[in-house]
Amino acid sequence: MADRATDRELQTFFFRGSDGALFGCVHPARAALARGTVVLCQPHGHEYAKAHRTLRQLAENLAQAGYTVMRFDLHGNGDSEGTFEEGHLGRWLRDVTAAVQEGRARSSCRRVCLVGARLGATLAWLAAARERIADALVLWDPIVRGADYLADLTAGESSRRRSLWTRVSTSPGDDESVEYIGFAYSRQLIRELKALDLTRAGSPRVDRTLLVSTEPLAHGSARDQLSAHLPGFGQQVVPVPRMWTPDDDGLLLAPQGLLDSVRGWLNEAIP
């Protein structure tokens, strides 16, 4: 539980992204001098709400450990400006860069660690591959191959529609967008996801990386192949309840084991 001072000092604001206002939160470091700046890249779409509680708890834990932590919402997600349909990877990458700049401006420490969950992890990787914006990278269940992710979304959407009393079409698309679990994915975003494959993307320009997987890494799986691409690679499998599919309740309680793993690794990566 966060203490009273942390609650009182939590900074909540809108800041300028590249394409409009983005919502941000800063948890100030509970130390005279911050050890580093952590920028949390949250999941998108239906996974945003599932992860919010845990990521907030992670931010508070890291603030207690002496880091200034910034959370933010991507364009068209959470409270940020715009519609979800306007979102695509290129725009969201610019949001990550803008958030890092904002986090640095609000922190006394220039050393940055990007911590991303799901698509947030993927964006953190890609943003760090474009330019040196961070010293360390934590990837929690990154989306490695967009085609696989789209298949999961399709299955989730079909499952949702089957549970309705009134039969509705299982082809939830039109010329402009396709609906997946409450969100309209633009055709541009779908094309970008289909082309996405982190195992063929450039390596992030960071000193150290941690891959956190909440499911066992099958040998040869997409996530297992990432190690060859990650500088200063560290890997942890932290078993927690299933959480990313629409019917999972795994994130109602923050998985403390996962939070402790990330905090412990950061203490070593950014002493």
Partner 1 sequence: MNEHVVRFGPDDSLCGILSRPDTREADIPGVVLLSSAMEHRAGPSRFYVKLARALAAQGFPVLRFDFSGVGDSGPRRDGLPFERSAVEETRAALDVLAAESGCRQFALLGLCSGATISFKVACLDPRVIGATLINAPRYLDELGSDVLTTIWRRNQADHYRHVKMFDWRSWHKLLSGRSHYVLLLGAALTKLRGIVRAPAPVQADNATDAEAFERLCQRKVQLLLIFAEGDWGLEYVRVVLGAHVREWMITKNPRVEVIEGMDHILTRLESQERVQRLIVEWGTGMSLRQRAVTGGAAPPRGGMLTTGTFSLQVSTTI
Q: Could you give the strand order of the β-sheet that contains 233-237, starting from the edge strand earlier in sequence?
A: 11-16, 21-27, 67-72, 36-41, 112-117, 136-140, 208-213, 233-237
Q: Nearer Cβ to partner 1, position 161 or 263?
A: 161
135 or 157: CB nearest partner 1: 157
Residue 218: CB atoms within 10 A of its CB come to 9
Report the nearest approach of partner 1 to the CB of residue 17 (Å).
Answer: 12
Q: Which is nearer to partner 1, 55 or 124 (CB)?
A: 55
Q: Which is nearer to partner 1, 167 or 219 (CB)?
A: 167
Measured distance CA(93)–CA(116) in Å, rounded: 12
HSE (CB half, 13 Å, CA atoms) of 235? 17
Q: How far is the CB of 60 from partner 1 (least distance, A)?
A: 10
Closest contact distance (angstroms) between CB of 78 and partner 1 is: 5
The whole-angstrom separation of Cα 206 and Cα 150 is 28
Q: How far is the CB of 200 from partner 1 (least distance, A)?
A: 32
List beta partners, residue 208: 136
What is the nearest approach in angstroms of partner 1 to the Cβ of residue 248? 14
Round to whole Å and give the CA distance between 94 and 4.
34
Residues in contact with partner 1 by the rule CB under 8 A: 1-2, 4, 6-8, 10, 12-14, 20-21, 23, 25, 46, 48-49, 52-53, 56, 77-79, 81, 83-84, 160-168, 179, 181-184, 246, 252
Nearest approach, Cβ of residue 10 and partner 1 (Å): 7
Q: Does residue 158 contact residue 172 with C-beta atoms inside 8 Å?
A: no
Nearer to partner 1, 154 or 235 (CB): 154
Helix (H) or strand (E) run with residue 161 in it: helix 146-162
Q: Which is nearer to partner 1, 165 or 219 (CB)?
A: 165
